[in-house]
Structure 1
Amino acid sequence: MRLTLGVCLILTVVLTVCPARAKEDTELFAELKSRLMAEGFSPAEIDKVFSDPRVKFLPQIMPRKLTWDESKLPYKRFLRPERIARARNFMKDYAPLLDEIEKTYGVEKEVLVALLLVESDLGRHHGRYEIFNVLASMAVSSDWERVKPYLDRELSPEEEARLKSIMARRSRWAYRELVVLLEISQKYGLDPLALKGSIFGAFGYPQFIPSSFRSYAVDGDGDGRIDLYTLTDALASAANYLKRHGWRPGLSWEEKKRVLMTYNHSEPYAETILEIAKNLHDSEDRN
């Protein structure tokens, strides 16, 4: 579904953009702008977004997407005692909210807290990149020559062909997500360049990509808007996602793991969330 923010933060790259670079970025996105206008977005709207000085091309993050290996990520660190203790305190602090969401969606509160712990350290961290820039950069990176200079090793012809294929596929995915980002920004009155998230285009406390926001995000606090940077909407949206993917009371461990792997396709990710949830449940039973 998206990659874990706590792990993604170690990949943060600080970028400085000079006027010449900004001009270069504008020219780089020209074809992308035309494609978006062909989707039905107005030229005025697209010009307004892309003329914003916050728009940047981020080529340095592209190779990280090519070499990312989810199976090797240190998920076990989320099981450290200090993390479990913080999650336990979170459950106490937000007990009425968590009980209500569990009652509404049928997703155990321990699982929701575990998910939010892994995704954003219980809402404390949600990413430092404008996800518009991440998705726009990926969308134009099907041109391999834009990415290759940032790889830190020589590639065999076979490896280069494999990575080119991956980049082309991810470029197509990013374009589709960028379209959705602009659509939900229009619908909900969002500033697409103000949404901060990971280098994988996921944002908010539950780390939703734009298409997941469109399909599963909900107004948990009833204030008439959806804000994934608030705990109520974030927790309710994560619960809604899991419920819509088959979560219900009484699932076995393996069944729960399969649902969680629709959120993030990593088996270690799903197993870690279930282990955290078990720790939280066991500690609550002791109290």
Structure 2
Amino acid sequence: MLSSRLAAFGLAASLAIATPIAGLAASCGNTSAGFEAWKADFARTAKRAGVRQAGLNALAQTHYATGTIAADRNQKSFRYSLEKFMQVRGATTIVAQGRKHKARNAEFFAALERKYGVPAGLLIAIHGMETAFGNYMGDSQVVSSIVTLTYDCRRSKFFEPHAIGALKLVDQGAISMATKGAKHGELGHTQFLPGNALEYGQDWNGDGRVDFYNMGDALASTANFLRQKGWRPGKGYQQGEPNYKVLKQWNAATVYQQSLAIMGRQIDG
């Protein structure tokens, strides 16, 4: 509300305030109404951040992802009790299947632990929790989802580096406008946000590219992320142990962290 002193300037001042000033950034929004204008402004931000033409072309093609916004407003499961959360997320099945995954790929997980110091059980628990071991990696267009969340006023600053990351991944040919992922723009076997994918991605199979839809690359990238976030090889990750706090870097929800610790321990036996 205008103060009485500002109101005294009268109609001319009011009109000046109501008229957009050239050069000001387009503002975030909570509906699709301003999305196209915001994209044009964000393109300048992206270009300054080093995004090249392929990424800028992808930005121009993005659409306002209504499904992403609906999902972002409805994250009820993180408010469940630990017991309810684990039941809803299928913890018993994840542990049972996870033990089989570990047995079938014993050398792979041993090699990951030798390089990054992260035990198999935890990586397998993440893989199971995020995508049911790669069986469901999402059906949302990654670039549109992450750009929509950057435009949305609720967490614009959090998602902006991930939108820039997604556009740079397009520049690199790592993803395209056709790439599908989760509702919040996470991609691949362990659902990396694009900015993290860009920074922590690992080419485990040595084919010259990081592919988060390849299990080896995705799990190596996950292990690298945890190591770079402070994981201490040989130390525990249960509550009260040195590595437990690193789980918060993967997911901020307490019940998620608790579930990973429990399932990881059970998988490793």
TM-score normalized by the length of structure 1: 0.71
Greater Rg by CA = 2
Residue 177 (structure 1) aligns with: 162
Q: How many residues are aligned here?
A: 229
Q: Find the residue that maps to 2:243 and give its secondary structure.
A: helix
Match among 72, 78, 98 for residue 80 of structure 2: 72
Give the counterpart letter for 1:221 in structure 2.
Answer: N
Residue 49 (structure 1) aligns with: 58
Question: CA distance change for structure 1 residues 71 and 140 in 2, over 3 Å: closer, same or farther?
Answer: same
Residue 199 (structure 1) aligns with: 183
Distance 1:136 1:215 in 2: 18
Question: CA distance change for structure 1 residues 185 and 81 in 2, over 3 Å: closer, same or farther?
Answer: same
Deviations 1:128-174 (A, max 9, x none): 101111122223333xxxxxxxxxxxxxxxxxxxxxxxx2xx12333
Give the counterpart letter for 1:72 in structure 2.
Answer: Y
Counterparts of 1:106-121 in structure 2, within 5 Å, are 106-121=117-132
Q: Find the residue that maps to 2:211 and give its secondary structure.
A: coil
Q: Find the residue that maps to 1:192 and give its secondary structure.
A: coil
Residue 126 (structure 1) aligns with: 137
Deviation at 1:28, TM superposition (A): 3.7
Deviation at 1:276, TM superposition (A): 1.1
Residue 68 (structure 2) aligns with: 61
Contact 1:36-1:46 within 8 A present in 2 as well: no
Distance 2:74 2:60 in 1: 32
Residue 203 (structure 2) aligns with: 219
Distance 1:246 1:46 in 2: 31
Distance 2:92 2:160 in 1: 41
Question: CA distance change for structure 1 residues 45 and 30 in 2, over 3 Å: closer, same or farther?
Answer: farther
Contact 1:33-1:46 within 8 A present in 2 as well: no
Residue 8 (structure 2) aligns with: none
What stretches of structure 2 of length at least 5 have no aligned partner? 1-31
Residue 285 (structure 1) aligns with: none
Contact 1:116-1:123 within 8 A present in 2 as well: yes
Q: Does 1:88 align with 2:99?
A: yes
Contact 1:135-1:177 within 8 A present in 2 as well: yes
Match among 137, 143, 147 for residue 136 of structure 1: 147
Residue 13 (structure 1) aligns with: none
Percent pairwise identity: 21
Residue 234 (structure 1) aligns with: 218
Residue 256 (structure 1) aligns with: 243
Distance 2:111 2:181 in 1: 27
Deviations 1:174-233 (A, max 9, x none): 3332122111221x2134312211111211111111111122111111111100111110
Tell me which moved more, 36-45 or 269-278.
36-45
What stretches of structure 1 of length at least 5 have no aligned partner? 1-24, 143-166, 283-287
Contact 2:236-2:244 within 8 A present in 1 as well: no
Contact 2:85-2:255 within 8 A present in 1 as well: yes
Question: CA distance change for structure 1 residues 252 and 92 in 2, over 3 Å: closer, same or farther?
Answer: closer
Residue 29 (structure 1) aligns with: 36
- Greater relative contact order, per chain length (Cα 8 Å cut-off, separation 6+): 1
Distance 1:224 1:133 in 2: 26
